[in-house]
Amino acid sequence: MKKRIAFTGGGSAGHVTVNLALMPYFIKMGWEVAYIGSVTGIERELVASLPEVRYIGISSGKLRRYFDWKNVSDPLRVLKGVWQAFRFLGKWKPDVIFSKGGFVSVPVVFGGWLNRLPVVIHESDLTPGLANKLAVPFSSKVCVTFPDTLSHVPKNKGIHVGAVVREELKQGRREAGLSFCSFSAQKPVLLVVGGSLGARRINEAVRHMLTSLLEHFSIVHICGKNQVDDTIQMAGYRQFEYVQEQLPDLLAMADLVVSRAGSNAIYEFLALQKPMLLIPLSREASRGDQILNAQSFEKQGLCHVLLEEELTDDRFYQAVLHLQKNSKSILQRMREENEKTADALAQVIAILQETARPG
Whether residue 66 has pLDDT greater than 90? no
pLDDT value at residue 195: 64
DSSP H or E segment with residue 163:
none
pLDDT value at residue 13: 77
Delimiting residues of CATH 3.40.50.2000 domain(s) in the chain: 4-162+342-355, 168-340
pLDDT value at residue 166: 86
Reply yes or no on domain 168-340 having CATH 3.40.50.2000: yes
pLDDT value at residue 268: 92
> Which DSSP state fits 357?
P
pLDDT value at residue 200: 87
The 10s digit of each residue's pLDDT in 267-303 is 999 999 999 999 998 877 667 889 999 999 999 999 9
User: ∠ at Cα 233 (231, 238), nearest 5°?
Assistant: 110
The 10s digit of each residue's pLDDT in 86-110 is 999 999 999 999 999 888 999 999 9
> Which DSSP state fits 151?
G
| 214 vs 287, more confident | 214
**Of 56-65, 163-172, 297-306, which gets the smallest average pLDDT?**
56-65
Whether residue 62 has pLDDT greater than 80? no
Whether residue 14 has pLDDT greater than 70? yes
Give the integer Cα–Cα distance in Å for 60 and 282. Answer: 25
Give the integer Cα–Cα distance in Å for 266 and 255. Answer: 15
pLDDT value at residue 63: 57
User: ∠ at Cα 138 (132, 143), nearest 5°?
Assistant: 50
Query: Residue 211 in contact with residue 136, Cβ under 8 Å?
Result: no
Query: Residue 237 in contact with residue 214, Cβ under 8 Å?
Result: yes
Q: Tell me the sheet residues that pair with 32.
A: 4
- In sequence order, the 6+-apart residues with CB closer than 8 A to the CB of 29 are 3
Is residue 10 classed as helix, strand or coil in its secondary structure? coil
Distances (CA, A) of 238 to 135, 152, 220, 277: 40, 41, 5, 19
Give the integer Cα–Cα distance in Å for 82 and 36. Answer: 11
The mean pLDDT of 43-59, rounded to a whole number, is 94
Mean pLDDT of the chain: 91
Question: Residue 103's closest CA among 37, 197, 5?
Answer: 37
The mean pLDDT of 175-192, rounded to a whole number, is 96
Query: Residue 184 in contact with residue 250, Cβ under 8 Å?
Result: no
List of E strands, 127-266? 141-144, 158-160, 189-193, 218-222, 237-240, 256-259
User: Crossing angle, helix 289-299 and helix 263-271, to 10 degrees?
Assistant: 30
The mean pLDDT of 159-175, rounded to a whole number, is 92
* CATH class (in words) of the domain with range 4-162+342-355: alpha beta
